[in-house]
Amino acid sequence: MEENYAEHAELFSSLANTQTPHTLFIGCSDSRVVPGLITSTKPGEMFVVRNIANIVPPYRVSDDFVATTAAIEYALYALGIKQIIVCGHSNCGGCAALFYDEAKLQKTPNVKKWINLMSGVKDQISKHCANDKAKREWLAERLNIVNSIRNLLTYPNVKEGYMAGEIKIFGWHYIIETGEIFNYDPHNDHFALLNKDYDYEKISHQLFD
């Protein structure tokens, strides 16, 4: 830790009083999804929101304590971030929990409630591959990314900014065991492999420069 700190001493010093992150990264809380590692970014570059299954709830002003919505609101309207990555991942427990029995979620009522935000995803999957566990979980991870992007567009002015090309939104499906990233292509409605050469440096330049 101390070595890390010494190595970036100048950077930390420049960040002491301000942050100007270029990207809002919305990822899963899963311990295997490490935003800085995936994107080769340094402190100060990304404003990060993590929750179970990288879900973006639809925008609303609420009397409840809405951490994810508040963080996204802050990133967009206080920090003025114009580039957003919604990053789902393989083997996501939150997406798998969509198909759990009621009893299995009995001790985690707040998780049960939270993943209700993916109920539309569950309905879509049930029509296609209800009995193929691996296929339905993989599909849930990807449809959930698209669902989160759709919900991002409900935040004030985001849809207009996105349509005008002023706000960029990426949907990534990160594969834990290979490091591959599949990027959502909204025009063709499919996910295409982003980093053929596993060159994270190159990707981060392509997307962040």
Positions touching Zn ion (CB under 5 A) are 28, 30, 92, 94
Count Cβ atoms below 10 Å from residue 42 Cβ, excluding itself. Answer: 12
Question: How buried is 175 (Cβ within 10 angstroms: 0-12 exposed, 13-18 middle, 19+ buried)?
Answer: middle
Q: How far is the CB of 30 from Zn ion (least distance, A)?
A: 4
| Residue closer to Zn ion, measured from CB, 162 or 172 | 172
Q: How far is the CB of 16 from Zn ion (least distance, A)?
A: 33
Name the helix (H) or strand (E) containing 205: helix 200-208
| Residue closer to Zn ion, measured from CB, 94 or 171 | 94
Token pair recorded at residue 14: 């420049």
Q: How far is the CB of 93 from Zn ion (least distance, A)?
A: 6
- Quote the crossing angle between the two packed helices 119-129 and 133-152, to the nearest 10°: 140
Q: How far is the CB of 89 from Zn ion (least distance, A)?
A: 6
| Residue closer to Zn ion, measured from CB, 28 or 146 | 28
Q: How far is the CB of 150 from Zn ion (least distance, A)?
A: 19
CA 67 to chain centre: 15
Q: How far is the CB of 172 from Zn ion (least distance, A)?
A: 13
| Residue closer to Zn ion, measured from CB, 28 or 48 | 28
Cα-based torsion angle of the residue sequence 205, 156, 148, 19 in order, rounded to the nearest 10 degrees: 40
| Residue closer to Zn ion, measured from CB, 92 or 117 | 92
H-type alpha helices, 35-185 = 35-39, 67-73, 93-96, 109-114, 119-129, 133-152, 158-163
| Residue closer to Zn ion, measured from CB, 87 or 203 | 87
How many C-alpha atoms does 9 have within 13 Å on its Cβ side? 4
Token pair recorded at residue 176: 């834990």
